[in-house]
Amino acid sequence: MIKVGIIGVGTVGTSVAQILKDNADVISARAGTDIVVKSGVVKNLNKDRGLGIVLTDNVDDILNDSKIDIVVELMGGVDEPFEVVKKALKSGKAVVTANKALLAYHRYELAELAKDIAFEYEASVAGGIPIINALRDGLSANHIESIMGIMNGTCNYMMTKMTNEGVAYDTILKESQELGYAEADPSFDVGGYDAAHKLLILASIAYGIDAKPEDILIEGIENVTQDDIAFAKEFGYAIKLLGIAKKDGNEVELRVHACLIKQEEMIAKIDGVMNGISVIGDKVGETLYYGPGAGGDATASAVVANIIDIARSGKSTPMLGFDKPMEANLTLKPTADIKSKYYLRVNVSDKAGVLAKITKIFEDNNISVETMLQRPSSEDSANLLISTHTAIESDIQNMIKEIEVLDFVNSTPVMIRIV
Amino acid sequence: MIKVGIIGVGTVGTSVAQILKDNADVISARAGTDIVVKSGVVKNLNKDRGLGIVLTDNVDDILNDSKIDIVVELMGGVDEPFEVVKKALKSGKAVVTANKALLAYHRYELAELAKDIAFEYEASVAGGIPIINALRDGLSANHIESIMGIMNGTCNYMMTKMTNEGVAYDTILKESQELGYAEADPSFDVGGYDAAHKLLILASIAYGIDAKPEDILIEGIENVTQDDIAFAKEFGYAIKLLGIAKKDGNEVELRVHACLIKQEEMIAKIDGVMNGISVIGDKVGETLYYGPGAGGDATASAVVANIIDIARSGKSTPMLGFDKPMEANLTLKPTADIKSKYYLRVNVSDKAGVLAKITKIFEDNNISVETMLQRPSSEDSANLLISTHTAIESDIQNMIKEIEVLDFVNSTPVMIRIV
């Protein structure tokens, strides 16, 4: 019998305990052994969770319990769980976590500590979708060319609603908060940080590349308006917040930002709170994984799958999927060097000569315009909606700086990359 | 170093050897060891494959080679590969196969023989999509409620073309044959048998249920016409050939047939030769897996992933995902008991009273009509296009028998199930 200790019995922790009970028949048949929760750590011992497991408010009660085989870490945060998980691994306990922030900062140290013991983290990326399983095992024969994913359900819900119902960003943000999809402080989701944590984890498995959130391009969806959505629709695009990892020669791009993406692409068809991740391998081509990226039961489904794996075979796969460096010389591409097509929205005073001046600045920066629309935004101002051919990020950034100081430009231009 | 012998160096076998060479850097890093092809079995020794591996036309040269660790079976067929694979397992060699027919007939015997040695078969279902990995490992915490999949790229290509370009079945079949998507004798694909083999494999992992192709409902796409596609479009459906496994109480439905499916469903959005499989688990909800279901490199990607898994950890998971029976008392639901909504196309002579007589037969069989369209099909005949509320398969079949003998009915009614 395998005994589990859960550190952090909140929504996901409760679901983990519940699934191990509810589905004990299939779990025991698949794991080849019974799996039970021996105890759980909570902050507030007075709250009854109705789970019938021993509760404590002391982490050491689990870490020092020699009868516990697997520690499930669901505390949240970075530093404290890192200490807890290190202790667990050092005392020979396998660890399962759903903590993406912990991994975004400490995955390589953890891989080192978990050389001979299982450390699993399927639930840390895209909730119930077994994407880590797919990338680490199912696609292991491939050089990964790119990963492109809707990794944040809150943002996807908001963009879908803005697209389908024409509502404003602020309106849908408020609704998302009321529905519990967005936090009171939504910046972790809408600012792209949550997706970035997940992207870094996947990029390590795909490329063995080390980077922290601070090292990569992270933008959110806060500046997307109905003007942008109308432009997207007119030219056959959807707007999505994507996490993108892409190999280009010996460099890997890692970036999170809103994207215009062609409506025919499978990933553009993923709507609502759902997540979806497209992976292109050099041999297999494109595969895509779709499902719920959050929620107690969906996340716990992935945690319990990891527990079953460990019960079956202990440690069967290196934590990040490789035992020695994979592809020689892969380095992180500097953000300034990224190449992309771009969409820009420039709000200008509606005066003669404006268009000529703007297009001159594009030309001076070697940026070639693909399409341009002008739409009135008030009585005396207009939005210029412009898409470019492939350009270099640094050129675009320089051009935006030149444009935003012009006297007839009313606000900082909004830029969305086209993929 | 792990040494592989490939039995059957055709398209997929050649790709397997090529991937192991081309991607040796990532494969060795992920597997923790080098993996090389030691030899291959071919029928015709005179054909140069340019792979630089030892070729033989004698299977025993591989089976008796004590230096070979993993046998890759890519012979095709059922009886001969079964004998070969049994010998390999008995001599302590791990086996990887892409052979769905072998598994459709012998998977339980093989699971018994492979209790202590790895037998892997990711490539047997949906080519490059790691669906077996997902179902057996990633979703292992769930009771599986249903599996619904586009498991045959040929059929999906044909249905997509018929839908988007309005071409007739025979025209697109001919084109598919010219493109190499369909065989000279296309019945294995368009008749649903290929999808049925794959469905049976997935159903075993999900439910532990044993069935052979002969035991389940298998229909193809041969009778779908532009009339049906027009009806589907009008009511918001796509037409797809789906393999369906569904639990209903203690019974499991297994069936392959053309389906009308709502266009909003993710699986309805999968077009062209691509495959996609939707799995609903009781805890995780719906997840979906999309990618190439055929092709040398995509299929070989899955074969090599299995080889890497075995190199990493030998046998880490029971072959079908469970060590003892899973859910008590699950039995195969008789086809006659299936409940579904139905669509029927009835070609009738355009005479007074016809509609009344047809609708009376529906009523007599307790089948409730949801929508009905009448469309002229020639000067003196018409098609009745009818969808029903939920009904029982045996009632529908009886009703079709009553309808087809009526003197004003010109041919056997065509029925497509609605999911």
Range B220-232 average pLDDT: 96
In a domain, B318, yes or no: no
Q: In chain A, what percentage of residues exceed pLDDT 90?
A: 94
> What is the chain B residue with the closest CA to A18?
B283
B328 has a pLDDT exceeding 80? no
Q: Which of B25, B29, B137 sits opposite A309 (nearest CB)?
A: B137
Within a domain: A376: yes
Tell me if B102 is assigned to some domain: yes
Determine the average pLDDT of the residues in A96-120.
Answer: 97
Regarding an ipTM greater than 0.85, the answer is yes
Catalytic site residue from B100, B161, B198, B247: B198
* A144-160 confidence digits (pLDDT tens): 999 999 999 999 999 99
Which residue in A15, A21, A3, A18 sits closest to A93, CA to CA?
Answer: A3
Contact B288 A289 (CB under 8 A): yes
* pLDDT tens for each residue of A340-358: 999 999 999 988 899 999 9
User: Residue A21 class from Cβ within 10 Å (0-12 exposed, 13-18 middle, 19+ buried)?
Assistant: middle
In chain B, what residues touch A15 (CB-CB under 8 Å)?
Answer: 283
Task: List A148's β-bridge partners, or say none.
Answer: A244, A278
When pLDDT is averaged across residues B185-198 and rounded to a whole number, the result is: 96
Residue A272 shares a structural domain with residue A149: yes
pLDDT in tens, A225-245: 999 999 999 999 999 999 999
Residue B192 pLDDT:
98
Domain span including residue A155: 135-291+328-332
C-alpha distance from B403 to closest chain A C-alpha (Å): 41
- pLDDT of amino acid B49: 81
Nearest to B365 by CA among B338, B399, B389: B399
Contact flag B317-A312 (C-beta cutoff 8 Å):
yes
Determine, yes or no, domain membership for A323. Answer: no
Interchain proximity B29–A266, CB inside 8 Å: no
Residues of A whose CB is below 8 A from B290: 266, 287-290
Please state the rounded mean pLDDT for residues A354-370: 95
Distance from the A119 Cα atom to the nearest Cα atom in chain B, whole angstroms: 15
Q: From A278, A313, A348, give the residue that closes a domain.
A: A313
**Residue B312 C-alpha, separation from nearest chain A C-alpha, in angstroms:** 7
Residue B17 in 3-state DSSP? helix
For residue range A161-220, what is the model confidence (pLDDT) as tens digits?
A: 999 999 999 999 999 999 988 888 999 999 999 999 999 999 999 999 999 999 999 999
Nearest CA in chain B to A137: B305
Same domain flag for A93 and A34: yes
Question: Could you give the 3-state DSSP secondary structure of residue A408?
Answer: coil
Q: How confident is the model at residue B182 (pLDDT cuts 50, 70, 90)?
A: confident
Query: Scanning the structure block, which residue is given the tokens 């025991």?
Result: A28
CB contact under 8 A, B298 and A291: no
pLDDT at B208 over 80: yes
**Residue A13 host element (H or E):** helix A11-22
With H, G, I as helix, E, B as strand and everything else as coil, classify residue B383.
Answer: strand
How many domains in chain B? 3
- CATH number of the domain bearing residue B236: 3.30.360.10
Residue A313 and residue B317: Cβ atoms within 8 Å?
yes
CB atoms B25 and A128 under 8 Å: no
pLDDT digits over B309-318, tens only? 999 999 989 9
Q: How far is B267 from chain A (nearest CA, A)?
A: 11
Using a CB-CB cut-off of 8 Å, the residues of chain A touching B266 are: 269-270, 290
Q: Which helix (H) or strand (E) holds B5?
A: strand B2-7
Q: What is the pLDDT of residue B201?
A: 98
Q: Are residues B373 and B301 in the same domain?
A: no
Nearest to A32 among B292, B301, B323 (CB): B323
pLDDT band at B47 (very low <50, low <70, confident <90, very high): confident
A128 plus A142 within the same structural domain: no
What pLDDT sits at residue B329? 80
Decide if B319 is inside a domain: no
Of A15, A130, A270, the CB nearest to B138: A130
Residue of B nearest to A126 (CA): B287
What pLDDT score does A183 carry? 87
Look at B26 and A284 and tell me if their CB atoms are within 8 Å: no
Is B292 within 8 Å of A287 when comparing Cβ atoms? yes
Q: Do residues A261 and A276 touch, judged by C-beta distance below 8 A?
A: no
Q: Is B341 found in the same domain as B252?
A: no
B129 inside domain = yes
Q: Residue A243: what residue type?
A: G
At A147, the amino acid letter reads I
Active site residue B198: yes
Same domain, A281 and A152: yes
User: If you average pLDDT over residues B52-65, what whole number do you get?
Assistant: 95
Residue A328 has pLDDT above 80, yes or no: no
Q: Choose among B269, B305, B322: nearest Cβ to A141.
A: B305
* Inside any domain, residue B321: no
Q: Which of A14, A28, A30, A117 to mutate to test the interface with B (most CBs of B within 10 A)?
A: A30
CATH number, domain containing residue B344: 3.30.70.260
Mean residue pLDDT across chain B: 96
Taking the CA of residue A342 and the nearest CA in chain B, the distance in Å comes to: 27
Residue A319 lies in a domain: no
**Helical axes B11-22 vs B24-31, angle rounded to 10°:** 80
Cβ neighbours of A295 in B, within 8 Å: 285
Q: Which among A28, A30, A141 is the nearest to B321, CB-wise?
A: A30
Look at B322 and A285 and tell me if their CB atoms are within 8 Å.
no
Q: In terms of domains, do B237 and B163 share one?
A: yes
Pairing outcome for strands A251-262 and A331-332:
parallel
Any idea what the CATH number is for the domain that residue B117 is in? 3.40.50.720
Q: What residues of A are annotated to the active site?
A: 198
- Please, what is the Cα angle at B164 between B387 and A163, to 5 degrees? 85
**Same domain? B145 vs B277:** yes
Shortest CA distance from B35: residue in chain A: A141
- pLDDT single digits (tens) B62-76: 999 999 999 999 999
B127: nearest CA partner in chain A: A284
Q: Is pLDDT above 90 for B410?
A: yes
When the pLDDT of each residue in chain A is averaged and rounded to a whole number, the result is 96
List chain B residues with CB under 8 Å of A290. 266, 287-290
Amino acid letter, B407: D
Cβ <8 Å between B297 and A284: yes
Q: How many CB atoms lie within 10 A of CB B179?
A: 11
Tell whether B155 and B128 lie within a shared domain: no
Q: At residue B8, does pLDDT exceed 80?
A: yes
Query: Same domain for A127 and A145?
Result: no
Look at B301 and A281 and tell me if their CB atoms are within 8 Å: yes
In this structure, the strands spanning B251-262 and B237-248 are antiparallel
pTM above 0.95, yes or no: yes
- Report whether pLDDT(B369) > 90: yes
- Shared domain for A75 and A166, answered yes or no, is no
Q: Are residues A285 and A148 in the same domain?
A: yes
Pairing of strands A94-97, A70-73: parallel
Which string of DSSP letters, residue by residue, matches B300-365?
A: HHHHHHHHHHHHHHSS-S-TTS-SS--STT-EEPPGGG-EEEEEEEEEEE--TTHHHHHHHHHHHT
Measured CA to CA in angstroms, residue B22 lies from A284, A380, B18, B27, B51 at distances of 13, 61, 6, 9, 11
CB contact under 8 A, A283 and B300: yes
